[in-house]
Structure 1
């Protein structure tokens, strides 16, 4: 399992996908061999989820540097040193380490996961060098018309993307829209090469978080608290129209600091957001909050009056991983996203229709006021029990185990250390 995002890294919801797969795969007869990066490559690390790594997992952390932090001079570095990403040095450590793992443990399947493009290069190299079948967890499309923004990086991503799709045994996506994108982009590749495993939530994590959480207090007499938990990308989740809408509503007296408080937790782009909050004069309504431990973040969701989703039109074929945790938290959700995108579709499927556009000031005003009226009256729709149950990480892991079995090669069990099968 080739994954950059793995404990002790913190600050990305993508960590949960690999961590929970590795935690629950042993229950399906698969022993995980995790090939991750040296913790020195992580800008934010901590021990809060290390205990969730299963005892059956064999974890190797290969040499890796962050070009921008370790190889730059006064914050500057040559562009090729960060192609395809700032962690390309991980390839130098991970490919030899992966070969040693293959020789020692004789796994049956290679699995690599995005969004670090270097993980795909490592997976491709190990597949070519060993002949083992390779499941590429693409998650979302790697490229778009104008993504990545740099043309050189975009061409490199396109090359990696094509090599991945043409050489892997299966390409796994997290949304139906992503599969549609790839089948159109590669019409000569059989549709059977693409599989869907959506993101999800972990019930055990929520049970632990609930122990920290007191029941939500009534809204009367205090502002309604709306939480956005996680990264706010300046392009994919640009909050400028939201800030414009809030400024206008504040000026009109419809939304005030006495009525609404919005907390943006662990945005990773505070330096971008602070001037915007000051520019629109909404600092009494919108505040930024630092990263906290994962269990604490879940507890905050459980106690929030409402939860905020931001997802731009250029991400219509993506669903934020955090959305599934929002649904499990069973708190009112305001989603600012395109009505025809996969995020809106997932919400409607769960029974939630408090949705407005992210790129339209007037539409945001209308959606926000409707949401507040419903939530304050206790009538905001919550996720259905059926939708919540279907999104558990245990259920997702069962889907992955089925795919592993589908592509696995025959290796005598005596050659595999641990359980009967390894990946």
Structure 2
């Protein structure tokens, strides 16, 4: 069985979508003749913790850990709340305070590519011995944080190994990158590191076709799209009795679906049954401006805020909801963003109400699988018509989704594609 060293920052008990990709790959890799050895930090400073995910770690997997120096722990002395927000990648849309500006400048210009860079050199030293002792010939680095790829680059220079760089998100074109208050020198440094990583690695994995096309302009190395996915169902469940529209994850200002609130405002004014049975459910961080928009449309009494929930509870909320809300920022740079929760939405088999930019890859998947309806932010009238149609089906107990072709997004099938790519000879 081929041994593959997987180098990651996010690992249980970290919460959020970033940790689940490789947790699930590791779960299935042995089925395809690959034995993963996982390397993660010993004392990380995770902004979100989900202890339930630790139960999903396979018992027979070798997990290596080494200490990491976390600058965010030092920065928390200035402002614990703001540091936690920035370390999670959630940058608020409102004008930042002086402390936030200072933290963003330090994060963007003194810690390139990111605040986990201090883990790079110690990791290279430690893993060099592991590679020699265990005869490992293939390593995988998964980012962000993209400093993890620098560990791969360092190991590649010292050993005759194949290095695969997995990008869960883009590097220099990610939305929040422009908000890090980078100097021109820092911007050039990010670009240089991105170029070196893409051209030093042997193979590249990305999660969207848009990122693949972006990287193909920078490197001639082979690039494979392997999306995120879903795992098995949890059995039968009792649906919500109300007409529940649920959004999972952070919902901040730039994703604020004002056209949806307007459509719901009109429907509640025109249809008394709709008003009585509507529930808007948020599971995750919700920005104050979003809540103000909801209130301005007279919908505040319909809102339930669940806060952050463990992943197993999130799956339950998704499957109980009448509709699932998927939102993306309306901009050119977000067309290639495919939220990880989309695939779990597919597996929940509830109608997906999606609002995002034109030619959005997430919307394309929904359309191709017949899993819901996709709108651009200005489509208030069309939104209203679809919502009313779905509400009438809900009243009849007939609101279902007949999706097709979603099986390819099962984590096991995606791991099959990953294993084939690992074993594929590129030269």
TM-score in terms of structure 2 length = 0.81
Q: Which moved more, 1:140-149 or 1:26-35?
A: 140-149
Q: Which moved more, 1:104-113 or 1:393-402?
A: 104-113
Summarize the Cα distance change of 1:252–1:182 in structure 2 as closer, same or farther, 3 Å threshold. farther
Residue pair 2:163, 2:201 contacting (<8 A) in 1 also: yes
1:326 corresponds to: 345
Residues 360-371 of structure 1: pairs in structure 2 closer than 5 A: 361-362=380-381, 364-371=383-390
Deviation at 1:154, TM superposition (A): 4.6
Measure the CA separation in 1 of the matches of 2:129 and 2:395.
58
1:313 corresponds to: 330
Deviation per residue, 1:315-339 (Å, 9 max, x gap): 2112111111111111121111234
2:421 corresponds to: 403
Counterpart pick for 1:172 among 194, 198, 205: 205
TM-score in terms of structure 1 length = 0.82
In structure 2, the residue corresponding to 1:284 is in which secondary structure? helix
Deviation at 1:124, TM superposition (A): 2.0
Summarize the Cα distance change of 1:145–1:394 in structure 2 as closer, same or farther, 3 Å threshold. closer
Deviation at 1:257, TM superposition (A): 4.6
Counterpart pick for 2:227 among 186, 198, 208: 198
Residue pair 2:269, 2:275 contacting (<8 A) in 1 also: no
Q: Please provide the CA RMSD for this pair.
A: 3.0
Measure the CA separation in 2 of the matches of 1:178 and 1:357.
21
2:238 corresponds to: 215
Residue pair 1:327, 1:383 contacting (<8 A) in 2 also: no
Counterpart pick for 1:348 among 364, 367, 383: 367
Measure the CA separation in 2 of the matches of 1:40 and 1:320.
24
Summarize the Cα distance change of 1:323–1:131 in structure 2 as closer, same or farther, 3 Å threshold. same
1:37 corresponds to: 41
Runs (5+) with no aligned partner, structure 2? 1-5, 80-98
Residue pair 1:313, 1:341 contacting (<8 A) in 2 also: no
In structure 2, the residue corresponding to 1:59 is in which secondary structure? strand
Summarize the Cα distance change of 1:135–1:354 in structure 2 as closer, same or farther, 3 Å threshold. same
- 1:388 matches 2:406: yes
Deviation at 1:91, TM superposition (A): 2.5
1:57 corresponds to: 61
- 1:304 matches 2:308: no
Measure the CA separation in 1 of the matches of 2:243 and 2:56.
34
In structure 1, the residue corresponding to 2:420 is in which secondary structure? helix
- Matched residue pairs, number? 391
- 1:9 matches 2:6: no
Runs (5+) with no aligned partner, structure 1? 410-423
Residue pair 1:134, 1:170 contacting (<8 A) in 2 also: yes
In structure 1, the residue corresponding to 2:343 is in which secondary structure? helix
Deviation per residue, 1:276-319 (Å, 9 max, x gap): 54555432123321222211211221211121111233321121
Measure the CA separation in 2 of the matches of 1:273 and 1:392.
33
Counterpart pick for 2:131 among 102, 109, 118: 102
Measure the CA separation in 2 of the matches of 1:329 and 1:105.
41
